[in-house]
Structure 1
Amino acid sequence: MAAPQQIRNLAIIAHVDHGKTTLVDALLTSAGALDRGEGQIERAMDSGDLEKERGITITSKPTSVTYGDVRINLVDTPGHADFGGEVERVLNMVDAVLVVVDAFEGPMPQTRFVTEKAVALGLKILLVVNKIDRPGAEPHKTVDATFDLLAGIGASEEQLDFPVIFCSARERYAMSDPADEKGPMSRILDFIVQYAPPPVVHEGGAALWVSTLDYDPFLGFVAIGRIRSGRISVGDRLAQLRHPPRPAHGETAGPPVVAEVFRVRRLLGFQGLRRFEREYAEAGDLIAIAGMETLQVGDTLTTEEPTTRHVFPRLDVDPPTMTMRFRVNDGPFAGREGKWVTSRKLAERLEREVRSNVALRVSPGETAEEFEVAGRGELHLGVLIETMRREGYELCVSRPKVILRRNENDELEEPYENLIIQCDQDYSGSIIEKLSQRGGELRAMDSAGPGRTRLEMRTPTRSLIGYRSEMLTDTRGTGIMAATFAGYGPYLGPRKTRPRGVLIVMEPGETFAYSLGRLQDRGVLFIGDHVQVYAGQILGEHSRENDLVVNPCIAKKFTNIRSAGADEKIFLTPPLERSLEQALAYIEDDELLEVTPKSLRLRKRDLDHNRRKREAKAAAG
């Protein structure tokens, strides 16, 4: 068992694609923490299917390496602003942060967002300038830009005096100065041991603040966090203290209550990609504990004796900025493809998600079969929906909406984002024009290398819903976009999100090429031939502003009379398929996205054509 002086606890934070997870791979390999065969795994810490497919880190995960006689606990954190709640809750486990910055791009918005949280907690800053082998890289300019960033967010003199090391995580070399000879990645481990402080140990009985949690089908709930004081052994009895639900505005919160008293069944440590059983652990180390019946992020696990208990404060994170409605799938095809289709199962799944996802809020909807789900952004909510559909859930979701509020003058406000876009110079004019139409305001514009432009804008959050794919199209795939929450500002009024209407299926049936061939001149089709559809489902986008009800299920009638066009071939344009995020951004307020394990279907909220007409007339007159 390592003493606190032989322990280092660090979180690795960086912007998306700055090489954070690749750096963790290199450090694990350099320290010999990977078993035979594991060393060939790329982005080993991105263990989830969605993380591997999207190439991003979604959940924070701890790992540990033993380097000499020092145990280095590393926490890999997400680099996307939508998963900032994951970062905020794990920073209380560490004593220092390893800030990874791209030598070409420099500090980006998410780097600032998370580093500001670390600075506020007084954590030691260690800088790793990565990708120094990238063409156009300026390592020393990146160090200066990081110093300016820290000075701008109020870092102390000690935090501004940060140590620096340069590396290429992909090529597996590191050095103290870019002009030096290339050295092994173990230099970064020496760098961590030298500059990262050992954990601070508090006096008193055993206490652990639950920073993240896991669920194992054999062990049940698993609490992960750092032991702040005392010693925890297998078989110990611990009290689980929990703060009551957040009170309404103006009310005071009550004291924490004992959720349960439980016996520690398993105590797990981390090593590389594995967990191993331990008999005991002491203050300063990161561990996982199993044995409790219920668990929430932010709970305190402490001694059973009230006189020696230690209670940690409520875990606060930035509030959500976007909301969606989740409801039971009530379409004609409900239950055909999914395993879990009832409101009870949907409520249980969302309740389970809230326990671990602290940036998520779930409240009852207008009906018993509807739930209001609030999160950090469309990617945050989109990942939740994609996870649920892969687990076998069927549900319908509405278009994301921003959360509005009223200020002290009773004026309506909406959330705003600080947006940074890097693109080729030829496309900057198009981006500025489109974002200005969406309510954006250009704050700064400068060079980002030969032929590249860096734009800094402040835009309403709702104007960025679905804009990422449009930006990639406008920049021919060369644009880089990142946004962070900037606060609330004046509400700019209602804005139409879609310039054209949709084609709506008239009656249930199977689509035929004969009908689709005639309809494709009316707009863009989302559905091909020989597909089962139902009344009220969206077939495609109309070429005009209004919605149009059409029948794609008419088959060609066979007769014994020949005509000039009897044997005419029908050429159908391939249907336009949308991803989950694109579909969420496309639908209007009176539409829903039906999500099943196998399909994504766009539909009207009310499937009855006559009822929609009556409601439209009533609204108009």
Structure 2
Amino acid sequence: GSTERATVTALFDYEGLERVETERAEPGDIIAVAGMEGIGLGESLSRAEDPVPLEPLHVDEPTLSMEFRINDGPMSGLEGQYVTSRQLRERLLKESEDNLAIDVEETDSADRFIVSGRGELQMAILIEQMRREGYELCVGRPQVITRRIDGEKCEPYERAFADIPEEHTGVVVEKMGERKGVMVGMTNHGTGRVRIEFEVPSRGLIGYRTEFLTDTKGAGLLTHRFDEFRPWAGEIPGRTTGAIVADRRGQATGYAAMGLQDRGTLFVGPGDEVYEGMVIGENNREQNLDVNITKEKQLTNMRAASADVLERLAPPRDLSLEEAIEFLADDELIEVTPETFRLRKRHLTPDARHKAAA
């Protein structure tokens, strides 16, 4: 590597959350320095008379990527402070400088970026940070990063460890098998819990964490780390249900929601704002279903009281950000704002969706 001379103009130590200027730092201290520019992660600061570089940090390569783009939906700009492509670009490039595990790639479109990282959780943390900072954006479904090795398409594999109650072993092994995972070891702790080791494609773990917690009744622990690139494992079954999609803008009504309860699970409740192309629920069937959830009940002499309708209406499913990322299909996006996030189709109108699918 190369060396460069520089002068430290100030040295800072930390006392709690406060940064305090100091004259001396001891081994193990977390410090900040002023007076030097262009320092990257993994570089060493040493005495000019006797420079001793430290071993560079090794960080696992990114295994998946997500599309980050400006929010171009009908409700864009209503809830966020930073909404332009320039602001989004600056924030993402700053993240790639500060976070060694994040890569940002600019595309031929000024309002679209490809962000690569080590997993869904890391991406969810970045999205949540940006949301709290006042950004509006849309993100797409995670995609694994593939390579050509000796002319063969290869994908990243993970070494996954499931620490679970013994009675849930069967369902976890079965679900991992469906996702092309192979069990390579099992340890019985003699305490009613077992630790199972799997080799599984990274894309097999996309969307699995919530299902894993459901299958183990919240008592399971799932960790994983990058192993190596291996030949493509073939198709892995994805979401088998369609989306319930709003066909117009307006407020959801209890009357319309009552009529849709048997069709699937709703993500919105009476009074929530919706727009054309917004995903408002999960269909029980494989196909997408366009619906009018803003429909009002026609006035008649015989009608149920609103309170009675709401009493019979199941509460909407409140998705967390991680669950929303796991739910996404390839033709869907998450609209993220400081106040909320919404699922939507990439193309909002039925005609645009049909053309894109053709």
Provide the TM-score with structure 1 as the length reference.
0.54
Name the structure 2 match of 1:533: 274
- Measured at CA, do residues 309 and 595 of structure 1 come closer, stay the same or move farther in structure 2, by a change above 3 Å? same
Give the counterpart letter for 1:420 in structure 2.
F
- Measured at CA, do residues 280 and 474 of structure 1 come closer, stay the same or move farther in structure 2, by a change above 3 Å? closer
In 1: Cα distance, 2:331 partner to 2:200 partner? 25
Q: Deviations over 1:482-516 (max 9, x none)?
A: 11111112212233410110111001111111111
Name the structure 1 match of 2:125: 383
In 2: Cα distance, 1:413 partner to 1:294 partner? 35
How far is the alpha carbon of 1:585 from its aligned partner? 0.9
Name the structure 2 match of 1:506: 247
In 2: Cα distance, 1:481 partner to 1:313 partner? 31
Name the structure 2 match of 1:460: 201
How far is the alpha carbon of 1:613 from its aligned partner? 1.9
In 2: Cα distance, 1:469 partner to 1:612 partner? 29
Name the structure 1 match of 2:41: 297
Match of 2:31, SS state, is strand
Match of 1:573, SS state, is coil
1:487 matches 2:228: yes
Name the structure 2 match of 1:554: 295
Provide the TM-score with structure 2 as the length reference.
0.91
The question of whether the paired residues in 2 share the 8 Å contact of 1:414 and 1:488 is answered with: yes
Q: Say how many residue pairs are matched.
A: 355
The question of whether the paired residues in 1 share the 8 Å contact of 2:180 and 2:236 is answered with: no
How far is the alpha carbon of 1:314 from its aligned partner? 6.0
- Measured at CA, do residues 288 and 611 of structure 1 come closer, stay the same or move farther in structure 2, by a change above 3 Å? closer
The question of whether the paired residues in 1 share the 8 Å contact of 2:241 and 2:284 is answered with: yes
In 1: Cα distance, 2:347 partner to 2:51 partner? 55
The question of whether the paired residues in 1 share the 8 Å contact of 2:60 and 2:226 is answered with: no
How far is the alpha carbon of 1:427 from its aligned partner? 1.1
Name the structure 2 match of 1:373: 115
1:327 matches 2:99: no
Name the structure 1 match of 2:10: 266
How far is the alpha carbon of 1:277 from its aligned partner? 2.3
1:350 matches 2:92: yes
In 1: Cα distance, 2:39 partner to 2:139 partner? 28
RMSD over equivalenced CA pairs, Å: 2.4
Work out which of the residue numbers 318, 329, 343 in structure 1 matches 2:60: 318
- Measured at CA, do residues 434 and 277 of structure 1 come closer, stay the same or move farther in structure 2, by a change above 3 Å? same
- Measured at CA, do residues 457 and 299 of structure 1 come closer, stay the same or move farther in structure 2, by a change above 3 Å? closer
Work out which of the residue numbers 22, 31, 38 in structure 2 matches 1:287: 31
How far is the alpha carbon of 1:423 from its aligned partner? 1.5
- Measured at CA, do residues 507 and 272 of structure 1 come closer, stay the same or move farther in structure 2, by a change above 3 Å? closer
- Measured at CA, do residues 444 and 310 of structure 1 come closer, stay the same or move farther in structure 2, by a change above 3 Å? closer
The question of whether the paired residues in 1 share the 8 Å contact of 2:325 and 2:334 is answered with: yes
Give the counterpart letter for 2:78 in structure 1.
R
Give the counterpart letter for 1:268 in structure 2.
F
The question of whether the paired residues in 2 share the 8 Å contact of 1:269 and 1:278 is answered with: yes
In 2: Cα distance, 1:324 partner to 1:341 partner? 18
Alignment of 1:1-400 (within 5 A): 256=2, 264-270=8-14, 275-280=19-24, 287-301=31-45, 315-400=57-142
How far is the alpha carbon of 1:370 from its aligned partner? 0.6
In 2: Cα distance, 1:312 partner to 1:422 partner? 36
How far is the alpha carbon of 1:364 from its aligned partner? 1.0
How far is the alpha carbon of 1:283 from its aligned partner? 8.7
Work out which of the residue numbers 190, 201, 209 in structure 2 matches 1:449: 190
Match of 1:355, SS state, is helix
The question of whether the paired residues in 1 share the 8 Å contact of 2:204 and 2:236 is answered with: no
Give the counterpart letter for 1:358 in structure 2.
L
In 1: Cα distance, 2:304 partner to 2:50 partner? 90
Match of 2:159, SS state, is strand
Give the counterpart letter for 1:520 in structure 2.
Q
How far is the alpha carbon of 1:455 from its aligned partner? 1.4
The question of whether the paired residues in 2 share the 8 Å contact of 1:325 and 1:365 is answered with: no
Match of 1:515, SS state, is helix
How far is the alpha carbon of 1:276 from its aligned partner? 3.5
Q: Deviations over 1:555-578 (max 9, x none)?
A: 12225xx24x55583121100111
In 1: Cα distance, 2:133 partner to 2:257 partner? 34
In 1: Cα distance, 2:149 partner to 2:184 partner? 25
How far is the alpha carbon of 1:445 from its aligned partner? 2.3
Q: Which runs of 5+ in 1 are unaligned?
A: 1-254
Match of 2:196, SS state, is strand
In 2: Cα distance, 1:405 partner to 1:441 partner? 22
Tell me which of the two structures has the higher relative contact order, counting C-alpha pairs closer than 8 angstroms and 6 or more residues apart: 2
How far is the alpha carbon of 1:279 from its aligned partner? 2.6
Match of 2:186, SS state, is strand
In 1: Cα distance, 2:54 partner to 2:168 partner? 50
Name the structure 1 match of 2:318: 577
Q: Deviations over 1:218-257 (max 9, x none)?
A: xxxxxxxxxxxxxxxxxxxxxxxxxxxxxxxxxxxxx648
- Measured at CA, do residues 345 and 582 of structure 1 come closer, stay the same or move farther in structure 2, by a change above 3 Å? same
How far is the alpha carbon of 1:473 from its aligned partner? 1.0
Q: Which runs of 5+ in 2 are unaligned?
A: none
Give the counterpart letter for 1:291 in structure 2.
G
Give the counterpart letter for 1:523 in structure 2.
G
- Measured at CA, do residues 291 and 474 of structure 1 come closer, stay the same or move farther in structure 2, by a change above 3 Å? same
The question of whether the paired residues in 1 share the 8 Å contact of 2:179 and 2:237 is answered with: no
Match of 1:371, SS state, is strand
The question of whether the paired residues in 2 share the 8 Å contact of 1:509 and 1:553 is answered with: yes
- Measured at CA, do residues 611 and 275 of structure 1 come closer, stay the same or move farther in structure 2, by a change above 3 Å? closer
Rg larger in structure: 1
In 1: Cα distance, 2:305 partner to 2:327 partner? 38
Name the structure 1 match of 2:265: 524
Q: Deviations over 1:528-555 (max 9, x none)?
A: 1101111000010111110011010111
Work out which of the residue numbers 473, 498, 501 in structure 1 matches 2:214: 473
In 1: Cα distance, 2:251 partner to 2:27 partner? 65
Name the structure 2 match of 1:183: none
How far is the alpha carbon of 1:365 from its aligned partner? 2.6
How far is the alpha carbon of 1:299 from its aligned partner? 4.0
